Amino acid sequence: MTPKLLAPHVADTRIFRECLGSARIGGMEQDHEAAKEDIQLVVAGAQDVAAIEAAIALGNASRSTLGHMPFAAYYDATLRGCLVLARLGNRVVGYALFGLARNRVRLSHLCVEVDFRGHGIARRLVEHIRREHSDHLGILARCRHDYGLGELWISLGFSQLSEQPGRSKEGYPVVSWWLDHGHPNLFSTEPATTLVRAAIDLNVLRDFVDPTRADADETRALRADHLTDQLELVRTAALDIEINEMQGPLRAACTQHAQQFRRVNSSGQRRVSDIEDQLRQDAQIADPGYPHGPQDELDVRHVAEAAAAGLNVLTTRDQRLTTLLGPPSERLGLRIVRPVDVIIHIDELARAEAYRPAALLNTSYSERLVGSGQDGLATALADIANGERPQQLLRKLRALGMAGHDRMGVYDSNGQLVAVFSAIELGYTLEVPLLRVSNNAVGDTLARQLLFRLRERAHSARTPILRITDPHMSRHAQMAAIVDGFRTADNNDLYTFVLGTAGPADSVEYDAAGAARRAGVPEPASLRSGMPAVAAATLERTWWPVKIVDSDLANYLIPIQQRFSADLLGMPNTLIPRNDALGLAIERVYYRSPGGARPAAPARLLWYMSEGGRGVSRPASVIACSQLDTVVDGDPRELHSRFQHLGVWRQESVERASRNGRVQALRFTHTEVFLNPISRQRFRQLSLTHGSSNRAPQGPRRISTALFTALYAEGRGA
């Protein structure tokens, strides 16, 4: 199970200054000198309740600078193996709390008991994390600059990455520190730039106003400095309405505090009203008399405003709101969660923000050339905020047309132009001089899909460099490119490699270096054989569709029924249209019974489609290759709640796939459908040639790299 992201908290100055070996005053140093050698590091398990509570107590003792960490985050960390304890016998004298987010480690807490500081315990904890998770690219930590800990971070091997304004009243900057694990320096180690925008309701706002309220600490953790670049709390019109109806001094306090949160606007009152009607109807199934009064009506308005504004998170501690409106809101792409769940699942929620296909349900998008009489429609996509006038964009569109370059537009079901782009083959580069996506609820999803399609086009055209030269590219597109691993050129263009190489590291390095020289971009760092799985998976995603076959990345053959492959993979085509959410998303989830072999992520997947399906039956064959990102076992309802934003199955379908109340979810991305599906007969021949079973897989089956390479080459027609 891929560990969940735990929010990193600011480290305590006293902890670091004393734990790195500075001399102690008096006899305390001598009192614990003998104990120094007896301190053991252990990974906490869920059964270690007393030890976990001791770690929580240590953290609470320094919470003024460590920040507010919900107790649930400690227990969640134990399930992921992400709480390391320093113990002297049964006594917990220090701990490290961290999370594994995508390809990096996020250090949350590093804490040592006062009497045991100065023994190098903190260094041992960091070294333990580095050793046990060396396959990740490095360790990321954040710390307020005014704590004066720069030299100490450096002594631990960290280097400064970036600096951003913090959320304290004084606005002290927060520094991001990075401890590199020495893998090829091909990846951006900047913190994730995709924001999770979460609407707050009145009970959350009141927690900020009055920190003495019960459980207010859970809410206050949302304002920690380290979350500046990951989480944006916003308010909707519904919150303003509710504040306006309050009486007395509390209204003034809430009014003043609410100004700290940016106001987001919905896509129109009609849209809000339609969502309200839908929410009432759905909630009445569970509670026929709902809504029962003004507060229920305000709850409905809160959810409708958030959904209509294109948000994907509403955070509240109101359990009644969550119970009644949570399920119907999920069908609108909005998750209603407690503040603690926002903190624990921040990385997962960020990914939901980036993909967000659920908002495309019941819509139909089309792509076609933008004619000369339609280019005026694109002026709404002008980058006015950065000084571009609509007429400038219009002239650019007309210049591209006059030069004979296609201007492609994406239209919604109402015929509205929501994206426009152009791509030009220039030697070894596919140049994108125009890439605009409208600022709406599906902007992130469209941007990710367009970038992936541009990668496919570059691969088909055998142009190993994809370069975006539009100085006014949309924010959605820019964010998507950064998340996708694009790098910045000297003139601020964004570029990435698109390599079709499937071979050892030295072959990939040779092709990448040659492409860089011919295209005039910096050559990448050297690669080496035996690259850890996480590093290899990151590179294969960043330089897709490259495959580094002498890395530690595993390969699996996954059986899939034809009726599911048509929906998830788009193969084979059927008379029944695919769901728009599945068609536009580049990340999807495949559910299966948890029996048999359990694939380990990250990995490569080859999809073996069985014979038979809806309409015309197709022969069994290996049809596609994907990247396995996450494998999670759990309760069907809980997993559906976590992954419903990917627009896959309804809850009842997930429950049918379960066994003994458990189901397994395989989250995969970057699917490449083969031009030449590999027939059952040919699959058997290749399997025997490479010493593998030639029987059709009944469940996930790990295969050798040699067999994967042979199947992949045949499927691509290489």
What would the DSSP string read from start to end of 364-397?
--EEEE--TTTGGGGGGG--GGGT--HHHHHHHH
* Domains, in order of start, for the chain: 13-180 (3.40.630.30), 196-355 (3.40.50.1010), 363-477 (3.40.630.30), 554-716 (2.30.130.30)
Rounded Cα distance between 478 and 494, Å, is 9
| Of the candidate ranges 388-397, 523-532, 535-544, 652-661, the one whose mean pLDDT is the lowest | 652-661
Q: Angle at CA 530, nearest 5°, toward 524 and 533?
A: 85
Q: Spell out the residues 6+ positions from residue 50 whose beta carbon is closer than 8 angstroms to its own.
A: 90
Instruction: Kindly tell me the sign of the dihedral angle through the C-alpha atoms of 377, 383, 384, 387.
Output: negative
The residue whose two tokens read 């929410």 is 279
- Give tens-digit pLDDT for 155-166: 778 877 777 776
Phi and psi angles of residue 552, each rounded to the nearest 5 degrees, phi first = -85, 10
Among 713, 657, 658, 655, residue whose Cα is nearest residue 682: 713
Task: Please give the C-alpha separations between residue 665 and each of 541, 559, 639, 641, 694, in angstroms, as whole numbers.
Answer: 20, 14, 7, 12, 26
Q: For residues 298 and 641, which has the higher predicted lDDT (pLDDT)? A: 298
Segment among 146-155, 165-174, 533-542 with least mean pLDDT: 165-174
pLDDT for position 707: 97
Share of the chain above pLDDT 90, in %: 33
Tell me how far the alpha carbon of residue 91 is from its chain's centroid. 37
The 10s digit of each residue's pLDDT in 15-34 is 333 333 333 323 334 445 55
340 pLDDT band (50/70/90 cuts)? confident
Q: How confident is the model at residue 195 (pLDDT cuts 50, 70, 90)?
A: low
Residue showing tokens 């709406």: 440
Taking CA atoms, 709 is separated from 130, 545, 559, in Å, by 32, 13, 18
pLDDT tier, 363 (very low <50, low <70, confident <90, very high otherwise): very low
Tell me how far apart the alpha carbons of residues 448 and 446 are, in angstroms, rounded to a whole number: 6
Residue type for 59, please? G
Contacts of 539 (CB under 8 A, 6+ apart): 184, 186, 187, 527, 531, 546, 548
Residue 83 banded pLDDT, cuts 50, 70, 90? very high
Range scoring the smallest mean pLDDT among 97-111, 190-204, 223-237? 190-204
Cα 150–Cα 155–Cα 158 angle in degrees, nearest 5: 70
CA-CA distance, 283 to 293, in Å (whole number)? 14
Instruction: Report which of 84, 62, 81, 60 is spatially closest to residue 71, judged by C-alpha positions.
Output: 60
Dihedral class, residue 685 (left if φ above 0, else alpha if ψ from -120 to 50, else beta)? alpha
In 66-187 the beta strands, taken as DSSP E runs, fall at 83-88, 91-101, 104-112, 138-144, 159-165, 173-180
242-249 mean pLDDT: 83
pLDDT digits (tens, 9 = 90+) for 450-497: 999 899 999 999 999 999 999 999 888 888 888 888 998 878 899 999
Q: What is the DSSP annotation of 226-292?
A: GGTTTEEEEE-HHHHHHHHT--SHHHHHHHHHHTTSEE---S-HHHHHHHHHHHHHHHHHH-TT---
Peptide bond preceding 602 in cis form (omega within 30 of 0):
yes
For the ranges 238-242, 257-261, 308-312, 584-588, the lowest mean pLDDT is seen at 584-588
Name the token pair of 313: 């998170």
Coil, strand, or helix at residue 636?
A: helix
Q: What's the pLDDT at 585?
A: 56
Could you write out the DSSP letters of every residue in 646-686?
G----HHHHHHT-BTTBEEEEEEEEEEEEEEEEEHHHHHHH
pLDDT surpassing 60 at residue 2: no
Average pLDDT over residues 567-577: 59
> Can you tell me which residue has the tokens 């799985």?
533
Two structure tokens written together for 379: 């002026």
316, 204 Cβ separation under 8 angstroms? yes
Identify the CA nearest to 606 among candidates 498, 713, 496, 499: 713
- Rounded to the nearest integer, the mean pLDDT of the chain is 82
Mean pLDDT to the nearest integer, 40-52: 91
Instruction: pLDDT band for 418, please (50, 70, 90 cuts).
Output: confident
- How far apart CA 80 and CA 519 sit, in angstroms, is 43
Q: Tell me what pLDDT residue 491 has.
A: 82
* Residue 683 confidence (pLDDT): 95
116-120, 208-212, 612-616, 687-691: least confident range: 612-616
Tokens of residue 339, six digits: 């503040």
Indicate the residue type of 197: R
Q: What does the pLDDT read at residue 12?
A: 35
Indicate if the pLDDT at residue 701 is higher than 70: yes
pLDDT at 713 over 90: yes
Residue count (the chain):
718
Q: Which of 91, 87, 111 is nearest to 8 (CA)?
A: 111
Mean per-residue pLDDT for 47-76? 85
Q: Where are the alpha helices (DSSP H) in 356-499?
A: 390-402, 443-460, 475-483
